[in-house]
């Protein structure tokens, strides 16, 4: 693979819509970029699909379009021509395509205004969105199933940190993002994710070197979750966005 027009379009899409993941990819080697940019561009498209229309049926159709594309990849059929789907098909296996299908299906929650049923439903949402994405990316870079437990623990912490960053916007759009929004409950949620979050050296031992760049997207998770534990009110205030200097420092530590 190389940086052709499709790959450049994927990179530009991630740079504009998901600058943290873009920075994480650019901190890695070229070989990893060629795999991660299509996967993260796919995530951008799927994550925003429920929000580009007020009509639930149209949002459902947009998500189904991506599920159909992943089904083509998983079944080895001719894949539709698209600037994201075309390069994505080159980096996914049938198994990783099925993993990403779970992420698309979970995004149906974003379409409607129903709250999460309970804490288990919320954790499942994080696992099927952030977890499926990270696990698919790690496997696309050559990891085996032996590292799954550690990677999923990291992905839950990363997914929670990103979700908490989005809480003010979700509330502004009429959603009820948290099962329990009280300060103590939010702090406890972040503290639990921190306790379960594996150390980077543990992850490095579990993964082959070429697969490790898929973990770099979590470079801000610990910083954000610790801030939530110290001051849970910062979630509602939208103050979970580190300064450029701190962002650069933590990216350097993780890459």
Let me know whether 93 and 184 are in one domain.
no
Q: Which of 66, 81, 112 is the last residue before a domain boundary? A: 112
Q: Are residues 2 and 45 in the same domain?
A: yes
What is the reported pLDDT for 130?
Answer: 97
144 domain residue, yes or no: yes
How many domains is the chain partitioned into structurally?
A: 2
The answer as to whether 19 is a domain residue is yes
- Please indicate, yes or no, if residue 74 is contained in any of the structural domains: yes
Domain boundary among 112, 139, 154: 112
Q: Do 129 and 250 belong to one domain? A: yes
End-of-domain residue from the set 112, 132, 147: 112
DSSP states of the chain: ----HHHHHHHHHHHHH-HHHHHHHHTS-HHHHHHHHHHHHHHHHHHHGGGS-S-HHHHHHHHHHHHHHHHHHHHTPPPPP-TTHHHHHHH--HHHHHHHHHHHHHGGGGTS-PPPSSHHHHHHHHIIIIIHHHHHHHHHTT--GGGHHHHHHHHHHHHHHHHHHHHHHHHHTT----S--SHHHHHHHHHHHHHHPPPHHHHHHHS-GGGGGGGGGGTTHHHHHHHHHH-THHHHTT-----HHHHHHHHHHH-
Q: Is residue 51 part of a domain?
A: yes
- Does some domain include residue 117? no
pLDDT digits (tens, 9 = 90+) for 129-164: 999 999 999 999 999 888 899 999 999 999 999 999
Residues 107 and 127 occupy one common structural domain:
no
- State the Cα–Cα distance between residues 86 and 84, nearest whole angstrom: 6
Range of the domain at 207: 123-255
In a domain, 246, yes or no: yes
Residue ranges of the chain with pLDDT lower than 70? 1
Which structure tokens are listed for 20? 């943290």
Question: Is there a single domain that holds both residue 131 and residue 241?
Answer: yes
82 in the same domain as 8: yes
Residue 118, domain member (yes or no): no
Q: What is the pLDDT of residue 114?
A: 93
pLDDT score of 1: 67
Q: Are residues 253 and 140 in the same domain?
A: yes
* Complete DSSP assignment for 140-155: HTT--GGGHHHHHHHH
Q: Are residues 129 and 38 in the same domain?
A: no
Same domain, 105 and 161: no
Residues 253 and 178 in one domain: yes
Judge if 146 and 220 occupy the same domain: yes
Rounded to 5°, the CA angle 3-159-75 comes to: 55
- pTM of this structure: 0.96
pLDDT at 201: 87
User: In angstroms, rounded to a whole number, what is the distance separating the alpha carbons of residues 158 and 47?
Assistant: 16
**What pLDDT score was predicted for residue 27?**
96
In a domain, 84, yes or no: yes
Spatial separation of the C-alpha atoms in residues 172 and 64, rounded to whole Å: 26
Verify that 151 and 95 share a domain, yes or no: no
């Amino acid at each position: 693979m190389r940086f052709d027009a499709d790959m450049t379009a994927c990179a530009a899409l991630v740079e504009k819509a998901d600058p943290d993941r873009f920075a994480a990819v650019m901190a890695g080697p070229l070989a990893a970029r060629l795999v991660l940019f299509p996967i993260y561009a796919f995530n951008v498209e799927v994550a925003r699909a429920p929000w580009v229309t007020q009509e639930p049926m149209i949002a459902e159709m947009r998500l189904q379009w991506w599920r159909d594309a992943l089904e083509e990849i998983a079944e080895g059929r001719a894949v539709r021509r698209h600037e994201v789907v075309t390069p994505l098909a080159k980096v996914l296996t049938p198994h990783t395509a099925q993993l990403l299908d779970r992420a698309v299906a979970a995004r149906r929650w974003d379409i409607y205004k129903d709250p999460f049923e309970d804490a288990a439903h919320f954790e499942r949402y994080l696992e099927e969105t952030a977890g499926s994405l990270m696990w698919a990316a790690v496997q696309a870079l050559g990891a085996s199933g032996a590292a799954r437990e550690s990677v999923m623990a990291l992905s839950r912490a990363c997914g929670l940190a990103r979700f908490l960053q989005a809480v003010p916007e979700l509330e502004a759009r009429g959603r009820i993002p948290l099962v329990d929004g009280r300060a103590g409950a939010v702090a406890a949620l972040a503290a639990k994710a921190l306790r379960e979050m594996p150390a980077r050296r543990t992850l490095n031992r579990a993964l082959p070197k070429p697969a490790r760049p898929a973990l770099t997207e979590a470079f801000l998770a610990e910083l954000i979750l610790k801030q939530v534990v110290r001051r849970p009110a910062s979630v509602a205030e939208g103050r979970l966005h580190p300064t450029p200097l701190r962002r650069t420092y933590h990216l350097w530590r993780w890459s």
